[in-house]
């Protein structure tokens, strides 16, 4: 194990209260076991920081490449509904979100009918956590997707003003990914679940974004 005083996210300088925050999580389903562990770590940490379960919205997309689009749509949909949009606007937002499935549990969801409501989108999301796991293969695929997703997510938070937590593992092999999801199987032990860091970061960024002065 590496020295915890050198690597990793230390506790924030102050304890932030997440009890009034709405947080969205969008996760890819590729590399399922790793994603499930990361999702669990993220949700547990959000709750530990006071975020209420009903204020955590979880969506899924097929792969990491889809994360920027889904993240942007979620942010926009949250803003539209919170602005007391006309019924026709709400309907189109719901249709838009039905492209990605809807649940609030810690497990990736079963497919749901496209008419499923997206839940009470009453206030904009205070932060979005985009979770994926890319594992290098034998082609350039990994490099292209890593690059596109990284730049896509950065652009979205700068363009929308909503913090986006980069919850994407970019691993060179399976073991690297497993260790970073806290389910390692090698000599280094189980490793550390980076989802916990992402939950912590989301609450900190949401709090800071309300008061930058
Ligand atoms: C195609 C693909 C491959 C080879 N590897 C991964 C991966 O390791 N992690 C991941 O999240 N997604 C992968 N994908 C799927 C792409 O992200 C994307 O879903 C498809 O190319 C469809 O756009």
Q: For the segment 179-210, what is each residue's pLDDT rounded down to a tens digit?
A: 999 999 988 789 999 999 999 999 999 999 99
77 vs 85: CA distance, rounded Å: 10
Tokens linked to 158: 């700068």
85 by Cβ neighbours in 10 Å (0-12 / 13-18 / 19+) ranks as middle
* ipTM passes above 0.90: yes
- Beta strand 101-103 with 127-135: parallel, antiparallel or unpaired? unpaired
**Atom in ligand 1 nearest the alpha carbon of residue 65:** 17
Whole-number Å distance, alpha carbon 63 to ligand 1 midpoint, is 5
133 vs 178: CA distance, rounded Å: 10
Q: pLDDT tens, 39-80?
A: 999 999 999 999 999 999 999 999 999 999 999 999 999 998
Q: Give catalytic status of residue 151 as yes or no.
A: no
Q: Which residues contact 191 (CB under 8 A, 6 or more apart)?
A: 178, 179, 180, 181, 182, 183, 184
Which among 60, 55, 27 is positioned nearest to 120, based on CA atoms?
55
Q: Which residues contact 4 (CB under 8 A, 6 or more apart)?
A: none
How large is the average pLDDT for residues 140-158? 97
CATH superfamily of the domain spanning 23-210: Lumazine/riboflavin synthase (3.40.50.960)
Kindly tell me if the per-residue pLDDT of 97 is higher than 80.
no
Tell me which of 39, 63, 137 to substitute to probe ligand 1's pocket, judged by most ligand atoms within 8 Å of the beta carbon: 63
For ligand 1, whether the C-beta of 32 sits within 6 Å is no
Kindly tell me if the per-residue pLDDT of 95 is higher than 80.
no
- Domains of the chain: which residue ranges? 23-210
Kindly tell me if the per-residue pLDDT of 5 is higher than 70.
no
| Rg for the chain, CA atoms, rounded | 17
Q: Report the run of H or E that residue 169 belongs to, with start and end.
A: strand 164-171
How large is the average pLDDT for residues 87-105? 39
- Percent of the chain whose pLDDT exceeds 90: 68
Kindly tell me if the per-residue pLDDT of 106 is higher than 60.
no
């Amino acid at each position: 194990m590496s020295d915890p005083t050198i690597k990793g996210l230390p506790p924030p300088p102050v304890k932030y209260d997440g009890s009034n925050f709405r947080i969205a999580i969008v996760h890819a389903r590729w590399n399922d076991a790793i994603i499930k562990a990361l999702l669990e770590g993220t949700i547990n940490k959000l709750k530990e920081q006071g975020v209420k379960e009903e204020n955590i919205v979880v969506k899924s997309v097929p792969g990491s490449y889809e994360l920027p689009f889904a993240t942007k749509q979620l942010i926009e949909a949250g803003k539209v509904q919170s602005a007391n949009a006309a019924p026709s606007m709400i309907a189109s937002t719901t249709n838009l979100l039905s492209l990605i499935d809807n649940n609030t549990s810690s497990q990736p969801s079963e497919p749901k009918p496209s008419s499923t409501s997206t839940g009470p989108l009453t206030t904009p999301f205070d932060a979005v956590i985009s979770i994926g796991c890319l594992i290098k293969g034998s082609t350039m695929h990994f490099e292209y997707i890593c690059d596109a997703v990284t730049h896509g997510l950065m652009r979205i938070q700068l363009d929308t003003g909503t913090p986006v937590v980069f919850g994407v593992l970019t691993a060179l092999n399976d073991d690297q990914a497993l260790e970073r999801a806290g389910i390692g199987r090698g000599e280094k032990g189980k490793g550390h679940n980076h989802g916990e860091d992402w939950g912590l970061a989301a609450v900190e960024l949401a709090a800071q974004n309300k008061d930058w002065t």
